[in-house]
Amino acid sequence: MSALSLLRLTLTKSPMYASPSSLRGLCTLRWTSLPASSIATTLKATAVSTHHALPAALDSPFSLSSTSPLPTAIQVRTKITKAKRHKRAKIQERERRVARGLPPKPLPPKYIPKDTPVINAMTREERNAESAQFDLEASREMKVKIDQQAEKEETLRFSFHGLAMSDRVRRLLNLKNGSQKEVVASQKRRGMELFQLREGDTGSSAVQVVALTTRIQQMQTHLAKHKKDYSGKRGLDAMYVRRRKVLDYMERKDFESYRKVVKSLGLMR
């Protein structure tokens, strides 16, 4: 469609949009080679034939300024968003690092290149022998702790330890007569005592793993009977995640204690 046909269509649909400024801009952008007076005459004839009323501004004479420079290109404006600005800053930072002879991105802490030779590496047989020796020592240490715990006074209900009482009262307070809650609490306390770093330790990583494992076993027994306890199942999954996080922390910080706990509790890692 030519520019003149477009102007005729515009006048036919909405004649109020036709003005000297729009015609002057059309001629300035060189959409048509006709002079502005010819375009105005043609539009007036089209308006008469289509019974449209032209705006009064078209009756006033207008012309293009011969001294005004013609635009060479249309300006296109783009919005620079925060994401684009941030991306551009990252690219510039990488270019500056490369210019200084550094890698484009900063290396993580404690980074070890792949081509670094391994010094004093152990063979698989030596590693297996060392692991077996460590497991043997850990089992001996655990056996000594269990024997020492068995030599202590028997566990009584309501923490009645170290009190002088008759045999009849002692049999009454025996843990065999206690509830399931008291039995589980006693088992949890005795298990935590095996991994305590000091007397009264209840917050070290190994003790936390033992406490969580005891609670997990209790919930597993409960869910085996009550299969539709979905809230309990959700709590059990949360305890799994919590225990795994504590074990991951122990594996990073204290690998020997981690191995002892995993071996003693029979966890799959």
pLDDT tens sequence for the chain (269 residues): 555 555 555 545 444 444 545 544 444 444 445 555 565 566 556 555 555 555 554 455 444 444 555 555 566 667 788 899 999 999 999 999 999 999 898 888 888 888 888 777 778 888 889 889 988 888 898 888 888 887 776 677 777 766 777 788 777 788 777 788 888 888 888 888 888 888 888 889 999 999 999 999 999 999 999 999 999 999 999 999 999 999 999 999 999 899 889 988 888 87
Specify whether the CB–CB gap between 104 and 97 falls below 8 A: yes
Specify whether the CB–CB gap between 138 and 260 falls below 8 A: yes
Rounded to an integer, what distance in angstroms lies between the CA atom of residue 190 and that of residue 150? 10
Specify whether the CB–CB gap between 155 and 175 falls below 8 A: yes
Amino acid at the residue 51: H
State pTM to two decimals: 0.51
CATH superfamily of 179-269: S15/NS1, RNA-binding (1.10.287.10)
**Nearby residues of 9 by Cβ (< 8 Å), 6 or more positions away:** 1
Q: What is the pLDDT of residue 15?
A: 46
Q: What is the pLDDT of residue 227?
A: 93
3-state secondary structure 151-220: HCCCCEHHHCCCCCCCHHHHHHCEHHHCCHHHHHHHHHHHHHHHCCCCCCCCCCHHHHHHHHHHHHHHHH
DSSP state of 100: T
**Ranges of CATH 1.10.287.10 domains, the chain:** 179-269
